[in-house]
Amino acid sequence: MDTLVHLAGGFATAFEPLNFGLLVLGCTVGLFVGALPGLGSVNGVAILLPITFFVPPTGAIIFLAAIYYGAMFGGAISSIMLGIPGASTAVATTFDGRPMAMKGEAHRALVAAAVASFVGGTIAVILFTLFAPPLAEFALRFGPAENFALMVVAFATFVGLSGDDIPKTILSILFGLILSAVGLDIISGQPRLIFFDLPGFYKGISFIVLAIGIYGIGEILWTLDSSKGRVEIAQHKIGFRNIVQAIIELRKTWRTMGLCSLLGYFVGILPAAGATPGSLMAYGMAKSMSKNSKNYGKGEINGVVAPEAANNAASTGSMLPMLTLGIPGSPTTAILLGGMIIWGLEPGPMLFITHEGFVWGLIASLYTANLFTLLINLAFIPLFIWVLRTPFAILAPVIFVLSLVGGYAPGSSLHDVWLILIFGIAGYLLRKLNYPMAPAVLAIVLGPLAEKYFRQAMIISHGDVMTFVERPLSAVFVAMAAVLVCMPIYSALKRRRAAAG
Amino acid sequence: MRRAELFTAVVFALLSGYLMWKSAELPVGWIPDKGPAGGAFPFWLSAAMLACSAWIFVRALRGATPESRTHGPFMDGPTVKLLAMAGGSLLVALILITWLGFYVAIPFLFVFWVRLVGRRSWMTTGILAVTVPVLTFFFFEIGMRILLPKGITEPLFYPLYQTFF
């Protein structure tokens, strides 16, 4: 009951003219960002975060969450029309979406993607509303030791579940943590890691600098590298009647939609997983459960529905740990979390008490964003297809300018802009060698919090490290982290034994 | 590719060593009853990073990663050219920002990419090279009150400041 009252208050916040305007703008921008090949939600949020500093935090998070959402819808558009995923979260959508478009059924695929995204998002946000308050209440019992242990779990999930090369993942985490330590020591106030005595390092390295470097500049370099060839747009005329008809046909897919939404939501909650693996898993699940699994990959509508329902559900799921525990569930939410810190909010369970309006405004806006993205998406499908033709020679300088100006604005420092260039180039080169970059972004956001919690816990326990295993909740988290780290080692050993016969 | 993989591991090892040395400017030990000293956090993380680089190096030597089994070049000729162009244009833009300001650097990026790389008409180039800086000016300087660096072109903006502030 309490939840409903809060939610009603949240809707009142979400429908305030400024917030509502930002929501619709965010959905639209998100759709474009998602639809443009090479740019996904994380790029959009990273590049546009600096421009939200002039609106109140509630409006800012509503805008960014709407971008996150819109991008999940939008990714499908280029997956279907161009055959190249608009974002990594829409990779699985190409498997069947592209063949459908080639058969002249682009409208069916686009509508299926949009409706599935809506259903996935809505199921997830309902679960979110039910889970978030109890989880936040539970998390209120956490002290610094538990909070630190929880962050260790977040890092351990990357090692255990991301599927990337393990030493490279660990190195990425460590590097992010070290970057976060630059600046003034939080307890003694002494300067540390002031490279070459440059004064710019005294205020530390903001996560925005790393995020814009990697997801703005680095992404464009990556796209330049990987898409040298031209791409062909599927030709199609889409009328109102085909859209209605396509919606009616979707009745047959409700089971896939429901199951994949649930799967996506729970995968999204895990810190390392998020929408990309969620959508791939959902595709796999739908295929293995289907009676006509042979049709998958040739233009099966369930093959479009499954990943699209899952990626939207996962994007909502990843906000649950961000809001309630202060642990982001995906790179995009890591950036949102960093934004919250800049806006002066302390992420974590206290938000539900100290900033009720902010939290419930965001939750209500997710419901609304879902609906509006669906409507905007269906209404403007032809426009999005037209925009997809934006040549890369125009897109590249636009992103460059946004990255440079956006990187300068938060700190008014050219030092940051130089760092963005360096991180962008380095990030691209490392990505080529399969170093995962998301762990570093998560680490630079969580680093200052992790160090603070660790040292607070140490001061409380008079320097006794055993506090992390003596406190029961913290011990549970430490055990979880240990299991997560051991998982890949165990499976590697098993593989080796199997290979040895 | 294999050489790049090994080389990167060595670079990370050297970087870790430098970071350890740099962190050691502050005490890196353990203060009894209080926990780690100021430099301990980055110092031990860097030490772990050094261990990690060694691990990556050994795995690469043994051919345990796909990258270390690929002997082809890290980047082929056209890619190097494309990326040198992208990196170069950004470098020039940054130097322009410092010297002549954002409002020279932005048009430069558009002329370079839209006209020289994309071979679009001067019309398209011109529209973008003019509208984007104007929008930037109104959004950041007038809307958000964030003054962007203008280098030696600063005096040209005095009349605008007088009109809008």
Residues A290 and A258 sit within 8 Å (Cβ to Cβ): no
Is residue A350 predicted with pLDDT exceeding 70? yes
Q: Considering chain A, what percentage of its residues have pLDDT values greater than 70? A: 97
Q: Give the closest residue to A427 by CA, choosing from A211, A276, A272.
A: A211
Is residue A232 predicted with pLDDT exceeding 60? no
Q: If you average pLDDT over residues B32-54, what whole number do you get?
A: 91
Is residue A272 predicted with pLDDT exceeding 70? no
Residue with tokens 């599935």: A116
User: Which pLDDT score, from 0 to 100, does residue A238 have?
Assistant: 67
Residue A501 Cα, gap to closest chain B Cα (Å): 20
CA distance B5 to B68: 6
Other Cβ atoms closer than 10 A to B62 = 9
User: Which pLDDT score, from 0 to 100, does residue A1 have?
Assistant: 65
Q: Give the closest residue to A135 by CA, choosing from A333, A311, A322, A278.
A: A322
Hey, what are A384's tokens? 């999005």
Banded pLDDT at A449 (limits 50, 70, 90): confident
ipTM of the predicted structure? 0.93
Q: Considering chain A, what percentage of its residues have pLDDT values greater than 90? A: 31
Give the chain B residue whose CA is nearest to the CA of A403.
B90
Q: Which residues of B touch A228 (CB under 8 A)?
A: 78-79, 82
Q: If you average pLDDT over residues A96-120, what whole number do you get?
A: 89
Banded pLDDT at A38 (limits 50, 70, 90): low
Is residue A430 predicted with pLDDT exceeding 50? yes
Residues A364 and A10 sit within 8 Å (Cβ to Cβ): yes
User: Which pLDDT score, from 0 to 100, does residue A36 have?
Assistant: 78
Radius of gyration for chain A, computed over Cα atoms and rounded to the nearest angstrom: 22
Residues A458, B4: C-beta atoms closer than 8 Å: no
Q: If you average pLDDT over residues A392-409, what whole number do you get?
A: 86
Give the chain A residue whose CA is nearest to the CA of B106.
A401
User: Which pLDDT score, from 0 to 100, does residue A259 have?
Assistant: 93
Is residue A276 predicted with pLDDT exceeding 90? no
**More confident site: A380 or A271:** A380
Alpha-carbon torsion (B76, B77, B82, B87), positive or negative: positive
Residues A43 and A392 sit within 8 Å (Cβ to Cβ): no
Beta-bridge partner residues of A183:
A192
Q: If you average pLDDT over residues A191-200, what whole number do you get?
A: 90
Q: Which residues of B touch A433 (CB under 8 A)?
A: 1, 4-5, 8, 67
Banded pLDDT at A32 (limits 50, 70, 90): confident
How many residue contacts between A and B have a Cβ separation below 8 Å? Answer: 170
Residue B42 Cα, gap to closest chain A Cα (Å): 5
Helix (H) or strand (E) holding B159: helix B158-164
Per the structure, the complete domain to which residue A221 belongs is given by 2-500
Banded pLDDT at A234 (limits 50, 70, 90): low
Taking CA atoms, A189 is separated from A64, B21, B30, in Å, by 33, 19, 17
User: Which pLDDT score, from 0 to 100, does residue A279 have?
Assistant: 87
Is residue A230 predicted with pLDDT exceeding 70? no
The torsion angles phi and psi of B31, rounded to 5 degrees, stand at: -90, 120
Residues B46, A220: C-beta atoms closer than 8 Å: no
Structural domains in chain A (count): 1
Q: Give the closest residue to A75 by CA, choosing from A119, A108, A42.
A: A42
CA distance A361 to A352: 11
Count Cβ atoms within 10 A of the Cβ of residue A284 and give its class: 0-12 exposed, 13-18 middle, 19 or more buried: middle
Taking only the tens place, the pLDDT of each residue in B48-102 is 999 999 999 999 999 888 888 888 888 888 888 888 999 999 999 999 999 999 9
CA distance A16 to A10: 10
CA distance A346 to A360: 16
Is residue A273 predicted with pLDDT exceeding 70? no
Which residues are CB-contacts of B15 (< 8 A; sequence separation ≥ 6)?
B49
DSSP assignment of A127-143: HHHHHHHHHHHHHTT--
Is residue A278 predicted with pLDDT exceeding 90? no
Is residue A329 predicted with pLDDT exceeding 80? no
Is residue A248 predicted with pLDDT exceeding 90? no
Across chain B, mean pLDDT equals: 90
Residue A439 Cα, gap to closest chain B Cα (Å): 14
Q: If you average pLDDT over residues A191-207, what whole number do you get?
A: 90
Radius of gyration for chain B, computed over Cα atoms and rounded to the nearest angstrom: 24
Residue A102 Cα, gap to closest chain B Cα (Å): 28
Count Cα atoms within 13 angstroms, Cβ side, for A454.
17
Is residue B41 predicted with pLDDT exceeding 60? yes
SS3 of residue A427 by DSSP? helix
Residues A90 and A30 sit within 8 Å (Cβ to Cβ): no
pTM over 0.80: yes
For Cα atoms A34, B80, A89, give the angle at the middle one, nearest 5 degrees.
20
Taking only the tens place, the pLDDT of each residue in B103-134 is 999 999 999 999 988 888 999 999 999 999 99
Q: Which residues of A touch B125 (CB under 8 A)?
A: none
Banded pLDDT at A344 (limits 50, 70, 90): confident
Is residue A39 predicted with pLDDT exceeding 80? no
Taking CA atoms, A223 is separated from A284, A370, B77, B144, in Å, by 27, 29, 17, 31
Banded pLDDT at A229 (limits 50, 70, 90): very low
**More confident site: A177 or B144:** A177
User: Which pLDDT score, from 0 to 100, does residue A331 have?
Assistant: 84
Residues A185, B65: C-beta atoms closer than 8 Å: no
User: Which pLDDT score, from 0 to 100, does residue A312 have?
Assistant: 92
For Cα atoms A15, A17, A18, give the angle at the middle one, nearest 5 degrees.
110
Is residue A298 predicted with pLDDT exceeding 70? yes
Hey, what are A293's tokens? 């699994």
User: Which pLDDT score, from 0 to 100, does residue A228 have?
Assistant: 64
**Does B30 lie at the interface with A, CB-CB under 8 angstroms?**
yes
Residue A450 Cα, gap to closest chain B Cα (Å): 10
Residues B108 and B95 sit within 8 Å (Cβ to Cβ): no
User: Which pLDDT score, from 0 to 100, does residue A501 have?
Assistant: 61
Q: Give the closest residue to A348 by CA, choosing from A266, A460, A446, A441.
A: A446
Q: If you average pLDDT over residues A120-125, what whole number do you get?
A: 94
Q: Considering chain B, what percentage of its residues have pLDDT values greater than 90? A: 52
**More confident site: A49 or A241:** A49
Is residue A84 predicted with pLDDT exceeding 80? no
Is residue A427 predicted with pLDDT exceeding 90? yes
Q: Which residues of A touch B19 (CB under 8 A)?
A: 178, 193
